[in-house]
Amino acid sequence: MAGEDITIHGPDGSFGAYLAKPSAGSGSGIVVIQEIFGVNKVIRDIADSFAARGYFALAPDLFWRIEPGVQLTDKSDDEWQRAFGLMTKFDPDFGAKDMQASISHVRWLDGCTGKVGAVGYCLGGLLAYLTAARTDIDASVGYYGVNIDQKLDEAKNIKKPLMLHIAEKDQFCPADAQTKIKDALKGNPNVTIHSYPEMDHAFARVGGQHYDKKSAELANQRTAEFFKKNLG
């Protein structure tokens, strides 16, 4: 069942999103949180894969305030520079508000059970963490999130299950930042952290420079089991 581009009406305005629905017409929801490349083919394919496993999968355009409809790849220097430029202009606080609007949208879709999870990658990994701390999400997963170490004062607000996948050789999250994250979250029974030795940033991005099939499959299996347990 092919996905479609839709519009979400948030508190600060309307923005686009990609929605993939399960063929059965019923199931829990997943909000797929973009990388710095926008809601591109990689993110849409991830949403489609969740829909194929029985979820309503929604990928909101979190760059809409800066430049709506961004769909970059990681295949050229020009696109990388545009992506980094967008990230520097992006305000995570607004992103968290848009996440709540997206969660609410999915939660009330016809056929949705009302349970909604979130999964984010890179910039989306940070948003997955903030989503766990600031929204009414039921469960969140972050892959190689960036700058989480700068938001650890919010760790105390995490009351629902959160899983983080950390790449131990992540060029955008150095070892000292990883240590801070683990130390701040280790006392929270809602948080599960998995580390992947020798893995660099974006090890689960299919087709990416640092893609590692074995580690990606392990992380994705852990994510699938996590959502099955917490979303039904």
Give catalytic residue positions.
170, 201
- One-letter amino acid at 199 equals M
